[in-house]
Amino acid sequence: MVPDKRDFDAIIVGSGPNGLAAAILMQQNGLSVLLLEAKSEIGGGLRTAELTLPGFKHDICSAIHPLAAASPYFKTLPLANFGLNYIYPEIEAAHPLEHANSAVLCRSIDETALHLGADENTYRNLMRSVTKNWPLIDADVLGPLHFPKHPLALASFGLNAIKPATLLANKFKTKQGKALLAGMAAHAMQPLTNMATSAIAMVLMAAGHLQGWPVPKGGSNNIANALAAYFVSLGGKIETNTYVKSLEELPSTHAVLFDITPKQLLQIAGHKFSSIYKWQLERYRYGLGVYKIDWALDEAIPFSSEACKKAGTVHIGNTLNEIRDAEQQTWNGKHPDKPFVLLAQQSLFDETRAPKGKHTAWAYCHVPGGSTRNMTDAIEKQIERYAPGFRDVILAKHTMDTVQMEEYNPNYIGGDINGGVIDLGQLFTRPALRYSPYKTSEKGMYICSASTPPGGGVHGMCGYYAAKKALNDIFDIKVDSLNRAEK
């Protein structure tokens, strides 16, 4: 039965990658969709600005995009026709070590393995299995808990993915093998001794081998701009500078999808929810925050390692043990002297990011949620360990602590860029334990942010699955894994 006429069939609140994905899927299926954004520009974490000096373009949040390139849904969209061009670094990621050669993630499994010495066959055997099965399980891994189409392939992945990264690291003998895994797993923003931290590492490495870790030409905002342009081309409508504080502010509609976290959802619509659902949202756990720095540089970072000079991403944290200890200290509410640092150097590959001959750099470390500690000195010392003279090439810098991150994007509660802890307790039950994590207790209301499975990352899959659920519930439109409607 077709619902009665309203101002819009669906409204999406929030224009991050998940909100945009949800809006597109619903518009693709013949609905009239309104996308509302509180800021003057769309994108959420996909924004780029001259934060330091004129001509230096810095990605305010996300910078390198392996999951955007690997996203099962984004790959179905004609985004290149709407201005999105990816640039692929020579080396996807590098991990420098003191007194040892760097570990690297290359597009080729064999090339990556060759850098691992005695761990060559171990790495090759681990990742060949993952990459072989990935096209069969990508939508399952990057989605809600459900019975998979290829259970054996998913089980093969899960046997290692469920392990703590510190346990999976026991497969490796070399500093390089252990460090490579640790740096990848540290993206989980939790102790490496936690269950399923290996899953984060394996997904990122598989994405690197299958799709690469690309840089969007001109800035990460161009991912959002391409998604928005495609949405508008389908007939969708976008309104910016519209901060939704209550349901009464919304036009009449059949379905509302919120690209926000439980904290904001409770503020806007908590009075509509059942007591059990509200109780669950109130107990949702947010995780570590980030302290971020952008630099305008007189020249490229003078890394001692040649591999680091060719990498889009550099993981700075030395050995597995050092990274494990730093992340555990941060989880315990401390600020380690040698934090794990994620660094991106987009201007090495994208000449539009800085004036000719100059460069940009982007980095952050993890800090306790809500921290206002200035971590600039600690981060720059970590970089100097592997790039002596780094501070001498700095022209200007811009910093953001967790409070400023949340001011920039209210979804970053306490500086948590993942929309909540992605540990085993909240991996599939985020934001609440329900048959569908996207459906609230109120009919017609859904949550489509990174606070739903599969969690943080620029992949749009949270928005895709939430929209798919709303299409089925409200409009009796069933969508298969490639977004084709079956009415």
At 41-94, the pLDDT tens digits run 999 999 999 999 999 999 999 999 999 999 999 999 999 999 999 999 999 999
Residue-wise pLDDT for 401-429, tens only, equals 999 999 999 999 999 999 999 998 898 88
Report which of 146, 421, 401, 398 is spatially closest to residue 295, judged by C-alpha positions. Answer: 398
User: What token pair was written down for 439?
Assistant: 């459906």
In the chain, ranges of CATH 3.90.660 domains: 87-121+166-193+205-212+287-408
State the pLDDT at residue 149.
Answer: 87
Distance from C-alpha of 87 to C-alpha of 214, rounded to nearest angstrom: 5
CATH number (3.40.50.720, 3.90.1150.10, 3.50.50.60, 2.40.10.120) of 8-84+216-284+417-486 reads 3.50.50.60
Report which of 224, 286, 315 is spatially closest to residue 37, judged by C-alpha positions. Answer: 224
Contact 104, 91 (CB under 8 A): yes
Distance from C-alpha of 449 to C-alpha of 19, rounded to nearest angstrom: 7
State the pLDDT at residue 2.
Answer: 53
CA 139 to chain centre: 16
CATH 3.90.660 corresponds to the domain 87-121+166-193+205-212+287-408:
yes
Distance from C-alpha of 7 to C-alpha of 478, rounded to nearest angstrom: 23
Residue with more model confidence, 20 or 99: 20
User: What token pair was written down for 284?
Assistant: 């949702």
Q: Is the pLDDT of residue 147 over 90?
A: no
439: which DSSP letter?
A: B
Report which secondary-structure segment, H or E, holds 361: strand 359-367
Whether pTM > 0.85 for this model: the answer is yes
Distance from C-alpha of 465 to C-alpha of 455, rounded to nearest angstrom: 12
Collapsed DSSP state (helix, strand, coil) of residue 82: helix
CA 375 to chain centre: 22
Confidence of residue 274 (pLDDT cuts 50, 70, 90): very high
Greatest alpha-carbon span in the chain: 69
> Between β-strands 100-105 and 91-97, what pairing exists: parallel, antiparallel or unpaired?
antiparallel
State the pLDDT at residue 6.
Answer: 83
User: What token pair was written down for 23?
Assistant: 């809006």
State the pLDDT at residue 146.
Answer: 83
DSSP code per residue over 284-326 = PPP--EEEEEEEEESS----SSHHHHTEEEEEE--SHHHHHHH
For 40, residues 6+ apart whose C-beta sits below 8 A from its C-beta are 240, 241
Confidence of residue 271 (pLDDT cuts 50, 70, 90): very high
184 to each of 267, 317, 426, how far by Cα in Å?
35, 11, 20
Q: Is the pLDDT of residue 351 over 60?
A: yes
Contact 18, 37 (CB under 8 A): no
Q: Name the phi and psi angles at 196, rounded to 5.
A: 70, 5
Distance from C-alpha of 363 to C-alpha of 379, rounded to nearest angstrom: 8
State the pLDDT at residue 4.
Answer: 73
Confidence of residue 376 (pLDDT cuts 50, 70, 90): very high
Report which of 395, 205, 412, 215 is spatially closest to residue 300, judged by C-alpha positions. Answer: 395
Angle at 322 between CA 116 and CA 203, to 5 degrees: 55
- Average pLDDT of the segment spanning 372-376: 98
State the pLDDT at residue 481.
Answer: 63
Name the percent of the chain lying above pLDDT 70.
98
Sign of the alpha-carbon dihedral angle for 22, 27, 32, 34: positive
- Average pLDDT of the segment spanning 387-399: 98
Please state, rounded to an integer, the average pLDDT across all residues of the chain.
96
Tokens 């811009």: give the residue: 398
In the chain, ranges of CATH 3.50.50.60 domains: 8-84+216-284+417-486
Confidence of residue 487 (pLDDT cuts 50, 70, 90): very low
State the pLDDT at residue 486.
Answer: 45
Contact 345, 311 (CB under 8 A): yes
Residue-wise pLDDT for 186-235, tens only, equals 999 999 999 999 999 999 999 999 999 999 999 999 999 999 999 999 99
- Cis before 89 (ω within 30): no
Q: Is the pLDDT of residue 372 over 80?
A: yes
State the pLDDT at residue 482.
Answer: 52
